[in-house]
């Protein structure tokens, strides 16, 4: 489970790597269209601070393409989704001052304020959206590459090939991707 979680984290970091001045954009504005499916600025704001959105677009596009492929294959991701969401934990109570609690609050509280949401509600939405994106990407990658091998070079090599798989998918559908924010 640890290697799988490590691999998922590395892929997540790949997908979540990035900067945008989206403060001029409204939540309902379409940020990108992937094979006919619109992704709004509001959805992206659940996942990222405004100053990180534009550098995340390529990863978002790849994750959305992977999601579309997994749905086309009719693969049930509910078990993996539940497992990953549990690793995020819950929004911490005010009296908890651990490093993890402070880290969650440092990210969630400003985003919640910006979006006019309760921090607990925001963190729940963030957790769901983030976990879904990662699980769809990992599921697609595993369909192409198989499971991660248990050797010392497995994670690094697997991640390299996983990135290639997602790059190839984006290349395959490049004419069906319209990025509207810069």
Residue 20 pLDDT: 40
Residue 153 pLDDT: 55
Those residues of the chain that have pLDDT short of 70 are: 1-23, 150-153
Q: Are 7 and 87 a contacting pair, CB within 8 Å? A: no
Residue 177 pLDDT: 97
Query: Which three-class secondary structure string do you get for the chain?
Result: CHHHHHHHHHHHHHHCCCCCCHHHCCCCCEEEEECCEEEEHHHHHHHCCHHHHHHHHHHHHHHHHHHHHHHHCCCCCHHHHHHHHHHHCCCCCCCCCCHHHHHHHHHHHHHHHHHCCCHHHHHHHHHHHHHHHHHHHHHHHHHHHCCCCCCCCHHHHHHHHHHHHHHHHHHHCHHHEEECCC
Residue 146 pLDDT: 87
Residue 156 pLDDT: 84
Residue 80 pLDDT: 95
Residue 151 pLDDT: 58
d(CA 64, CA 129): 12
- What pTM value is reported for the model? 0.82
For residue 15 the two structure tokens come to 């997908």
Q: What does residue 22 show for φ and ψ, rounded to 5 degrees? A: -95, 10
């Amino acid at each position: 489970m640890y290697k799988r979680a490590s691999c998922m984290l590395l892929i997540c970091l790949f997908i979540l790597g990035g900067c945008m001045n989206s403060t001029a954009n409204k939540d309902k504005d379409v940020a990108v269209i992937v094979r006919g499916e619109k992704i709004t600025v509001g959805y992206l704001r659940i996942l990222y601070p405004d100053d990180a959105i534009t550098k995340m677009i390529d990863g978002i596009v790849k994750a959305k393409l992977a999601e579309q492929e997994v749905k086309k294959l009719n693969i049930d991701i509910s078990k993996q989704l539940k497992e990953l969401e549990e690793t995020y934990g819950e929004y911490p109570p005010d009296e908890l001052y651990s490093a993890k609690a402070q880290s969650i609050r440092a990210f969630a509280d400003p985003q919640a304020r910006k979006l006019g949401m309760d921090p607990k509600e925001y963190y729940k939405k963030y957790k769901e959206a983030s976990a879904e994106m990662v699980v769809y990407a990992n599921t697609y990658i595993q369909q192409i590459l198989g499971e991660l091998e248990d050797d010392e070079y497995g994670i690094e090599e697997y991640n390299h090939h996983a990135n290639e798989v997602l790059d190839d998918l984006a290349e395959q559908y490049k004419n069906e991707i319209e990025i509207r924010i810069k």
